[in-house]
Amino acid sequence: MNRRVLISLLGGAVVARPFAAHAQSDGMRRIGVLMALAETDPQAQARVGAFRDALKKLGWTEGRNLKFDFRWGAPDPLRRMPALAAELVALKPDVMLAAAPPALKALQQATRTIPIVFAQVPDPVGTGFVASLARPGGNITGFTIFEYQIGVKWLELLMQIAPRVKRVAVLHLPNTPTLAECIRQIESVAPTFHVELSTLPARNADEIERGVEAFAREPNGGMVVIPSPLTTTRRGQIVALAMRHRLPAVYPYRYFVTSGGLASYGVDNIDLYRRAAPYVDRILKGEQPANLPVQQPNKFELVINLKTAKALGLDVPITLLARTDHVIE
């Protein structure tokens, strides 16, 4: 082939596939993973395990043709994420997995060229991560976790299980733009349920403790817990406080309920990491993240802990149990 023609063809390939993955010098592909949780957290390991297993089924074996680089954000993910993202980008991975909005934001600020697949991010269009769900554009695509209207479902679930509740605290990590609209959705329907709503911002374990204790001093209270790296990391503390103060509480994920929480409604978040693997596979094989549509969750589950309900003196309606996906007894 004519040398000039060959150079022209190679140059055209670079233009057509600006985010195509490249082989590392050792022949392996490299995946950077940025997680908001601690490495020792069982939930973090379950998510990573699902991602790894799905990649293995697609032919990617760690140590043979694949290398992982992990960075863990806990105990202070919001503060640590920028430095951890910079570390991963410096390793020049072929593609990166971002778990939750703080990780995605940090990686987006660190690179506009390395492909990024995200999981557990609400409203990626409104927060400026992608141009649209159908055509993300740029170097980012992935899997959303819910729409903000789910906040209404959480309040509705709380009132179905605990109709005596007259005061509801929304426990959340402040200054989290991706979830501010979720709280507004809850506030907008609170009058419909004839409850007094208050927000309970907390940035650390001490603020969670003080906030819940202060709220529980008056009777007929209940809680809605908004998902965040903090509430996930401190889930044991939050569930214990709710039980200590006899506060019926609704949570965003099943693992709060298996830890002793009352009820949850939300996406099967482990499934999101499982579904992220085929996108990583396609990027490693040369597809552009800009052309991979952002996917929305297709698995939601309602989970109720009857043991906890009994301890709180609550009778769960039969009609609610009939549509519960998992009952813990």
At residue 25 the predicted structure's pLDDT band, cuts being 50, 70 and 90, is low
At residue 75 the predicted structure's pLDDT band, cuts being 50, 70 and 90, is confident
Residues 247 and 288 in one domain: no
- Residue 202 in any domain: the answer is yes
Total domains in the fold of the chain: 2
Residues 29 and 71 in one domain: yes
Which CATH number covers residue 93? Answer: 3.40.50.2300
In the sheet with 116-121, reading across from the earlier edge strand, the strands are: 66-72, 29-35, 95-99, 116-121, 140-144
User: Residue 25 and residue 317: Cα distance in Å, rounded?
Assistant: 61
Residues 92 and 74 in one domain: yes
The pLDDT of residue 6: 38
DSSP state of 315: -
- According to the per-residue pLDDT averaged within each range, which of 5-9, 76-80, 150-154 is highest? 150-154
Residues 196 and 284 in one domain: no
What pLDDT, in 10s, does the model give residues 110-155? Answer: 999 999 999 999 999 999 999 999 999 999 999 999 889 999 999 9
pLDDT of residue 249 exceeding 90: yes
Number of neighbouring beta carbons within 10 Å of residue 137: 13
The pLDDT of residue 76: 87
Number of neighbouring beta carbons within 10 Å of residue 149: 13
Question: What DSSP string describes 216-269?
Answer: TTSSSEEEEEPP-HHHHHTHHHHHHHHHHTT--EEESSHHHHHTT-SEEEEE-H
What pLDDT, in 10s, does the model give residues 256-312? Answer: 999 999 999 999 999 999 999 999 999 999 999 999 999 998 889 999 999 999 999
Domain range enclosing 59: 19-145+269-299
The pLDDT of residue 17: 40
What pLDDT, in 10s, does the model give residues 165-208? Answer: 999 999 999 987 768 889 999 999 999 999 999 999 999 999 99
- The predicted model gives 80-84 an average pLDDT of 96
User: Residue 307 and residue 61: Cα distance in Å, rounded?
Assistant: 42
- Residue 287 in any domain: the answer is yes
Residues 66 and 155 in one domain: no
The pLDDT of residue 26: 61
The pLDDT of residue 175: 81
Residues 181 and 317 in one domain: yes
| 221 HSE (CA, 13 A, CB side) | 23
At residue 229 the predicted structure's pLDDT band, cuts being 50, 70 and 90, is confident
- Asked whether 46 and 99 are in contact (CB, 8 A), the reply is no
Residues 259 and 275 in one domain: no
The pLDDT of residue 2: 41
pLDDT of residue 102 exceeding 60: yes
Residues 136 and 167 in one domain: no
pLDDT of residue 4 exceeding 90: no
- Residue 10 in any domain: the answer is no
SS3 308: helix
The answer to whether the peptide bond before residue 227 is cis (omega within 30 degrees of 0) is no
Residues 185 and 98 in one domain: no
At residue 164 the predicted structure's pLDDT band, cuts being 50, 70 and 90, is very high
Mean pLDDT over all residues of the chain? 91
Indicate yes or no: pTM above 0.85. yes
